Amino acid sequence: MRGQVKITRYRTGNPNERLATQDVPKNFSLVFICAYLFPSVTGKNPIIAALDVPTAEAALKLAQEIAPAVGAFKIGKELFVSAGPDIVKKIRATGASVFLDLKFHDIPNTVAKAIAAATRLDVQMLTIHTSGGGEMMRAAEKSAQDTAKAAGSMPLLVLGVTVLTSSNNETLAEIGCEADTEKQVLRLAQLAVKSGLRGLVCSPLEIAALRKILPASVQLVTPGIRTGTEKADDQKRTLTPREAMQAGASWLVVGRPIYAAENPRAAAEKILESIY
């Protein structure tokens, strides 16, 4: 198919230890594809650095500094609202992959159109709320596929967010959901995959349970990563980068342990070294 490359990942480079075969966007950087193909040789870089800074200038400065040590950049609500689509274009212009974390949750038609716009902006991953339901998720994935096909590129990876890690059983009860958070996470994850999504965002402590019930090809993107050396902050349920990868994470979203470090580049390099 035009605009995509089929690649197979091996755990150790040994063909008998195949992890998954999947399509990767042709417009992902060569370094990304090499790292993905030969993790034992190049060390796949699964770190997505969160650019949780308020201005385009700060984001670009941080991105330039840490680019060689990370696999992609996450642009969230704060940066996107203040710097707009232009910051996505500027980060893409450096050759880096972009994860647009705006967590869409709306009527299916609106979400589909937002995803078409994000595809035109050339982002590689974005998030939607699985609680928007099956119809919304099917519309989201269809939009990603159709818009990419029309553009001759690869569909961006639509990631489903299940239960926010800031929610607990009381939060769910408050909005009329009787299931406990764990059950609700598994239920929404299964609905997401049934609706065609190829990836999910999950807390580190959910990875193992999700890996048991989901197809191996589903990409799990995990925030809440801590090395154990940072000062305490609002992430309560954390794993180290290595623990999260061993549990089955595909990508690690790392914010403060990198951008709030005295030397962000050195912090990112240390995290990467700790994984392999």
> Among 192, 201, 245, 271, which residue interacts with ligand C5P (rule: CB under 6 A)?
201
The Cα diameter of the chain in Å comes to 50
* Binding flag, residue 206, ligand C5P (CB under 6 A): no
For 21-51, letters b (16+ CB in 10 Å) and e give ebebbeebbeebbebbbebeeeebbbbbbbb
> Among 71, 160, 255, 264, which residue interacts with ligand C5P (rule: CB under 6 A)?
255
Q: How far apart are CA 131 and CA 163, in angstroms?
A: 8
Q: Site residues for ligand C5P, window 111-130 (CB under 6 A)?
A: none
Neighbouring C-beta atoms of residue 139, cutoff 10 Å: 23
Residue 169's nearest CA partner among 156, 180, 184, 153 is: 180
Closer CB to ligand C5P, 9 or 129, in the complex? 129
- Token digits of residue 70: 């990370």
Relative to beta strand 18-25, strand 4-10 is: antiparallel
Find the part of the chain contacting ligand C5P (CB under 6 A) among 17-25, 83-91, 129-137, 254-262. 254-262
* Binding flag, residue 108, ligand C5P (CB under 6 A): no
- Least Å distance, CB 30 to ligand C5P, is 27
Tokens 């607990």 correspond to 168
* Binding flag, residue 210, ligand C5P (CB under 6 A): no
Q: How far apart are CA 65 and CA 18, in angstroms?
A: 34
* Binding flag, residue 195, ligand C5P (CB under 6 A): no
* Binding flag, residue 209, ligand C5P (CB under 6 A): no
Find the part of the chain contacting ligand C5P (CB under 6 A) among 105-113, 143-151, 177-185, 251-259. 251-259
Fill in the per-residue mask, 257 to 276: x = in contact with ligand C5P (CB under 6 A), - = not in contact: x-------------------
- Token digits of residue 214: 């989901």
Closer CB to ligand C5P, 24 or 79, in the complex? 79
* Binding flag, residue 227, ligand C5P (CB under 6 A): no
Active site residues: 103
Q: Site residues for ligand C5P, window 10-69 (CB under 6 A)?
A: 50, 52
- Least Å distance, CB 150 to ligand C5P, is 30
Q: How far apart are CA 74 and CA 80, in angstroms?
A: 10
* Binding flag, residue 160, ligand C5P (CB under 6 A): no
Residue 142's nearest CA partner among 108, 102, 104, 92 is: 108
Closer CB to ligand C5P, 205 or 254, in the complex? 254
- Token digits of residue 156: 């961006």
- N- to C-terminal Cα separation, the chain: 33
Q: How far apart are CA 218 and CA 249, in angstroms?
A: 10
* Binding flag, residue 221, ligand C5P (CB under 6 A): no
Residues 124, 182: contact at Cβ < 8 Å? no
* Binding flag, residue 98, ligand C5P (CB under 6 A): no
> Among 148, 254, 261, 271, which residue interacts with ligand C5P (rule: CB under 6 A)?
254
The binding site for ligand C5P (CB under 6 A) comprises 50, 52, 76, 164-165, 201, 223-224, 235, 253-257
